[in-house]
Amino acid sequence: MKAEPVKRAFKFRFYPTEVQAAELLRTFGCVRKVYNLALQARTEAWYQRQERVNYNATSALLTAWKKTDELGFLAEVSSVPLQQTLRHLQAGFSHFFEGRAKYPKFKSRKKSKAAAEYTRSAFRYRDGHLTLAKMTAPLDVVFSRPLPEGVQPTTVTVSRDSAGRWFVSLLCEDASVAALPPVADVIGVDAGVTALVTLSTGEKVTNPRHERTDRARLAKAQRQLGKKEKGSKNRDKARAKVSRVHARITDRRRDFLHQLTTRLVRDNQTIVIEDLNVAGLLKNHTLARAISDAAWTELRSLLEYKCQWYGRTLVVVDRWFPSSKTCSACGHVKASMPLGKRVFHCERCPLVLDRDINAARNILAAGLAVTVCGDGVRPQRSTPARQSSAKQKTQPARAGLSSLQGGEEVKWRTPGKRWPSRPGSTRDPAAHR
């Protein structure tokens, strides 16, 4: 059976000439300007006149902006990236009204990612040479691996990170990604700080702590940055040094997570993880730095798409499931289990087990219950004294699957976001749909 093509991005580094760099930087600035203008127009149209402004309306506004003396420079760059940023803004509003994201924010020149997206009409890719619109010479791309044979990119995204490195991402529909041979192994994964993941088999993967490894180097670069005068060229150079240290940490962390998740997906048919509230955990200022360095959200994202690609099953157990307080042997639930206690001692049976291994086994058991009955796992816990029963009702169990197939993942519902309030304004999100 022929494999269904999947959207796959191939990211490479390239080295532009001075002319190409100037053209791309000009395009980045125009993309950011159009995005901010369109966001401002949509927001003001609703709050001041209760008018609906969608993608078509902002596209017409873009045409009008190009004809003005103040914004005439927008016509000097390719129009495709400008149209694409309007589509991205429309997608941002759609995600906002469906409760998957917050209200779109304005792009900052220093904090926002510098990127531009080109569709097929704005680039040419032939024989390994990539040429963008408004450019006569192809980009000097370092292809670290070949694209799938006979596959042409559908979109090209050019970006420049804070460390000054240039990247190009080629999005292709790859039919060479096939499901892995089925295996009988299933595994539960408990995420942690000291051990990045603890598996139900008893194996612990030590957290490399990439940020801690380069902390001294990062601190030195930040001290030098703090001594430079604001607005000076020396401050820009110092800021670039800080960005390079951050880029080194990010690259090493991502490489490690790719290797780990690939091994888990290759060796196991079903992977059970826990639905962690990372945003809430980051509010703990004692552990926030370590949790950020562990990158649990990125770990889960990698597992999600790799399971989908290779025909594996990812089960997500409800975040309220007391995996650390439950005995994996008899099912007894402790009243409390402080973080300082690293060994689980059951009060009803002779089980004495490492805390994280016990939690991983409980997560696996919850996932197996899902695969057997096809229903959610309802946490068996009493209502905490600081919570009311009404508050509990707003936290449904999220470790359920109606039907479990290869590559499926548990879906959960994110509470909807409210329209940002302003004095004297009328809220009607439907007006912006």
User: Which residues are catalytically annotated?
Assistant: 190, 274, 356
Own/partner pairs, 217-220, CB within 8 angstroms, 24+ separation: 217/245, 218/242, 218/245, 218/246, 218/249
* CA dihedral sign, ordered 380, 382, 384, 390: positive
* 119 strand-pairing partners: 155
CA angle (263 as vertex; 258, 268 as ends), nearest 5? 135
On whether the CB atoms of residues 345 and 352 are closer than 8 A, the answer is: yes
Give the Cα separation of 101 and 92 in Å (integer).
8
* 159 strand-pairing partners: 115, 167
Q: Which positions ≥6 away from 233 have C-beta within 8 Å?
A: none
Give the Cα separation of 90 and 358 in Å (integer).
45
Token couple for 250: 């990010």
Give the Cα separation of 7 and 13 in Å (integer).
20
CA angle (315 as vertex; 314, 316 as ends), nearest 5? 120
